């Protein structure tokens, strides 16, 4: 079985002598499917995000661009990434999912992104822990979810993934 893997960050630099940077070519060489861009734990200026998305696109890799709120989602949608994940930073890694704590951020981001880049699929992240969070995110218009801590911190990661999948 093959599972698409994305890098947690990529830098918009050319391959070569780039110690401390992760060029898109390195992600491709490692067999990666793409990368997250502009995560709230590693925010980037808009122009840097744009170059990172273009560098991934040029190599046939996928960008999952993160936005902290509706305004950022609208602005970043101008990059027309394949995926845009809305993740308010204050809810990342917490116990409350954005889909229940701030549902208007999810539905507003979906609406904003669709108005700017109809082909971009919106993902819901931040605090997604179980099937109820997934179901609510889909109900609010997202195409899927972006998760990390719900799986990485779980006593049984496989069971955590299976629980999340039942929300679809």
Catalytic residues: 39, 87
Q: 43: which residues sit within 8 A by CB, 6+ positions away? A: 68
* 53: phi then psi, degrees, rounded to nearest 5: -60, -45
Sign of the Cα pseudo-torsion (62, 64, 47, 140, in order)? positive
Cβ atoms of 64 and 57 closer than 8 Å = no
* Tokens matching residue 104: 């208007």
What separation in angstroms does the CA of 6 have from each of 36, 115, 134, 148?
7, 27, 20, 12
């Amino acid at each position: 079985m093959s599972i698409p893997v994305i890098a947690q960050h990529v830098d918009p630099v050319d391959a070569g002598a780039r110690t401390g940077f992760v060029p898109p070519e390195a992600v491709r060489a490692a067999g990666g499917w793409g990368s997250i861009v502009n995560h709230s734990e590693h925010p980037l200026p808009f122009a840097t995000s744009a170059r990172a998305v273009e560098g991934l696109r040029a190599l046939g890799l996928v960008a999952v661009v993160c936005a902290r709120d509706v305004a950022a989602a609208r602005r970043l949608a101008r990059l027309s990434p394949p995926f845009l994940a809305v993740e308010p930073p204050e809810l990342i890694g917490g116990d409350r999912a954005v889909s229940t704590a701030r549902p208007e951020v999810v539905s507003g981001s979906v609406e904003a992104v669709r108005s700017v880049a109809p082909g971009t699929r919106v993902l819901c992240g931040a605090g997604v822990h179980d099937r109820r969070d997934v179901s609510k995110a889909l109900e609010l218009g997202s195409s899927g979810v972006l998760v990390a801590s719900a799986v990485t911190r779980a006593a049984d990661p496989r069971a955590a993934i299976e629980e999340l999948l039942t929300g679809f």
